[in-house]
Every structure is written in structure tokens, then in C-alpha cells.
Structure 1
Amino acid sequence: MRVFPDQFPGWFGVRLATGGEAANLLFPEITPSAVSGVIDGGRTLSERDSMGGKTEDRYPDIFGLAHSIDGGGRTDVRATVADRLAALPRHSVILNHDVEAGAEFLHTLTAG
């Protein structure tokens, strides 16, 4: 299941932010029976982390009206953003369904 930002207020009662600052990159995996922790040999950013191509996947161009518009933005801009994000500390993590324990783990991991 995918959750999109515009669904946060209605589904979760969470207001959308108008800005922010990235301090870490997290690549989470969710396994209900797992103990929260860092995954060895974590991954890096790749092209699959950006939406690109003729249309992004939320709004497929079923009527053929996009006329080659790249819904993911320009390739050079995506590359610039990826380069900046790649300079941040990154963590591949495994989490379970214990939200409070996961939040505490993530806070400790990223609190430097």
C-alpha cells in the first residue's frame, strides 16, 4: 500500500509541512517479528528512488494527454538533488510494528 502526502491530514490527522531540512537518509524495511536495528551493508540512492519518465506512477496517462511531459522533473535536477542527499549520513534499518520502540530507535540513531 502506498500513502501519498495529501492523504496524511485525512487519514492520520497530521498537517502537511511547508518546509524541512534533511539530516539523514533512512532506508527502512518493515518486518513484524524483527528487532529494530541497522542493516549491515546498507544501500545508497538510485534512480528508483525518484519518480521519472513520461508520467509518475500515481497518475498514469490513461488518456494520452501528457504528451511526453516528464512527471518526475528534469533529469539534471533529479541528479543534483540525489548528489546533495548522497552527502548525508545514511542508514538502512529494519523496524517492526512497535511504533514507540521504532521512534525511540530512530531518534537514538539520528540524534548526532
Structure 2
Amino acid sequence: MTKAELKRVCVKPYDKDKFEVVLDYTFILPSFNGVVPKGFKTDGASIPRIFWSFFPPYRSEYFSACVIHDYLCERANSRKDYKLADQALKEAMLLLGCSKFKCFVFYHACNAFHFVKCLIKSK
């Protein structure tokens, strides 16, 4: 597999608290490769407002990882797809130099949310 590589995503403001990807965003992660297409719209990290002082949703430190995660989640159809998206988020955050603590918090928060979402959806 190709060496993991991750550059920063290029976005422009789209709407209040939303951004649009300006150029195709190619990412190479340890376990997954892909492209977020130009024109994809994201809200950054979907973090409850109460936690914004600790984890701002548009922080450049992890914003690119959140764009990848949003893109993969938008296309997810199963628990397996969400697991892949959550793993991609964790790998991207690590490649971007985020602390292991932040990676742990983001990964497990997303994973728990998607677990519950899939449980509810299947009923």
C-alpha cells in the first residue's frame, strides 16, 4: 500500500457554519484511500455547542479529518461503513498531528453515536 499522506483540505464558506470543498481532496490513509470531490459541503466537526470551548468545530488542527469523516458518513449505508468512516477519522487526525487524547475522544464519541444511530435505524 502507498505511504499514508494527508494534506490540508481547501474550502470556502458556503453558508452559516458550512463550507464547500474547492478542489478535489485526495487522501491516503494507512487503511483507506479516497477522494472528497470538489463541491462537497461540510459543517466541520459536528460537536455539541456545549463542548465548543474545548473542541471548536472548525479548528484547522483536525478540520481536514472531519471533512473526510463527513464525506464517508454521508455515503454510509451500514454499521460497517460507519466503522470505516470512524477509523478514517482517527487515522487522519493522527496524520495531522493531533494528540492521542483528541483522537481517542473523537473516535469513541463518533463510534458510540454511530452505534446508537444504527441500532435505532434498524428498528
TM-score of the pair, normalised by structure 1: 0.30
More helix by share: 2
Computing the radius of gyration from Cα coordinates, the structure with the larger value is 1
Greater RCO, CA 8 A, separation 6+: 1
TM-score of the pair, normalised by structure 2: 0.29
